[in-house]
Amino acid sequence: MSEINLEKAVGWQDTDLPVSWLKRDLLLYAIGIGAKATDQTIVNELDKDWAPFPTYPVVLHFKGEDQEINDFKTRVGRSNAPGLPQFDPNRGVHGSQSIEVVKPIPEVSGPGWKLKRRIVGVSENKSGIVLEHEALLVDPHGTVYAKLYSASFNLGAKATGQKFSKRIAGPPPAKAIPKDRKPDHVVRDKTSPEQALVYRLSGDYNGLHIDPTIGQATGFGGVILHGLSTFGFGARAVLAAVGGNRPEALKYFGVRFSSPVKPGDALETAIWEVGPGPRGTTEVAFVTTDLDSGKVCLAAGVAYVDKAAKSRL
Ligand SMILES: *[C@@H]1O[C@H](CO)[C@@H](O)[C@H](O)[C@H]1NC(C)=O
């Protein structure tokens, strides 16, 4: 193992990950994030306004090119980045996730698509080490379709024990939720008891999401829903409220994961339109609360929505 030096990990480029998807993968993802029979533009590929749901690329890091299920253990904690200490895969927490839709993805990828991945931030504090990753989804010609950032918090990990923080790229910061007015939209939804069973079929087969004994042993009290499924519920809420439920309208979506959701829990997303965003979009601030736990599960929500996409009928 190489010498521990967090500085060395920042900017490290991982090997490219080949990825692919079919139209069926997009439809399966849509119900994994709770789309309903009434969401025809999301679940029905025969609907004239159907399009791939814009947050789909977030599953590709685990899915890769697989159609068959994969072995989750081979998909996590295997970073060859220099300078990092060993991380305990059971103490890694998905801290945040964002996706910028640069171009709408095609309905079927075909061969030659990749995620180009690098570490763009490392920070250490008393409780552990945060790694920030960037992943660019590119087609066979190298054209970028989506730009993803995620942060994972490795509880208990230790390099020097000193405070360290370096970051060379990252998502746009969240705007504060307006304190002086009620949300412009409130969207209620409910996850199903089988939500994690459906979501995992998009590529994240971590046993924590199906075997209640794992969640009991790790202090979650049973099965918890994939953070990225809740992420998709949030994206659907914002799209329905601000983007006319037209998949092309969502141009950026990012959150911080602040508490776990259990399959079957009800969710409430409060949405504020806070002003103009980049390229003619409307910037949205939002927060999603798990009504069963009473806790915020998606914090610091930011989205850019192209409302004009809604009237292009
Ligand atoms: C360390 O960073 C993590 C992730 O940002 C945060 O949740 C935690 O509270 C921090 N701990 C301390 C002791 O500052």
Amino acid symbol at 182:
K
CA of 125 to the centre of ligand 1 (A): 6
In this prediction, residue 2 has a pLDDT band, given cuts at 50, 70 and 90, of: low
Closest CA to 15 of 85, 131, 151, 115: 115
> What's the per-residue H, E or C state across 85-139?
CCCCHHHEEEEEEEEEECCCCCCCCCCCEEEEEEEEEEEEECCEEEEEEEEEEEC
Please identify, by atom number, the ligand 1 atom nearest to the C-alpha of residue 130: 4
CA of 153 to the centre of ligand 1 (A): 8
User: Tokens for 264?
Assistant: 């079957």
Check residue 92 and give its pLDDT: 85
Mutate to test the pocket of ligand 1, among 96, 127, 259 (most ligand atoms within 8 A of CB): 127
Check residue 1 and give its pLDDT: 52
Rounded-to-integer distance, Cα 40 and Cα 37, Å: 7
Rounded-to-integer distance, Cα 49 and Cα 95, Å: 33
Tokens 């390099």 label which residue?
Answer: 159
pLDDT in tens, 239-259: 999 999 999 999 999 999 999
Please identify, by atom number, the ligand 1 atom nearest to the C-alpha of residue 128: 1
CA of 127 to the centre of ligand 1 (A): 6
Rounded-to-integer distance, Cα 253 and Cα 97, Å: 8
pLDDT in tens, 193-224: 999 999 999 999 999 999 999 989 988 899 99
Pairing of strands 17-19, 250-257: unpaired
Domains along the chain? 6-312 (3.10.129.10)
Record the pTM: 0.95
Give me the mean pLDDT over the 6-26 stretch: 97
Going by CA atoms, what residue is nearest to atom 11 of ligand 1?
Answer: 127
Tokens 């339109």 label which residue?
Answer: 273
Mutate to test the pocket of ligand 1, among 91, 124, 153, 256 (most ligand atoms within 8 A of CB): 153
Q: Which residues line ligand 1 (CB under 6 A)?
A: 125-127, 130, 153
DSSP-assigned beta bridge partners for residue 92: 154
Pairing of strands 17-19, 113-125: antiparallel
The contacts of residue 24 (CB under 8 Å, 6+ apart) are none
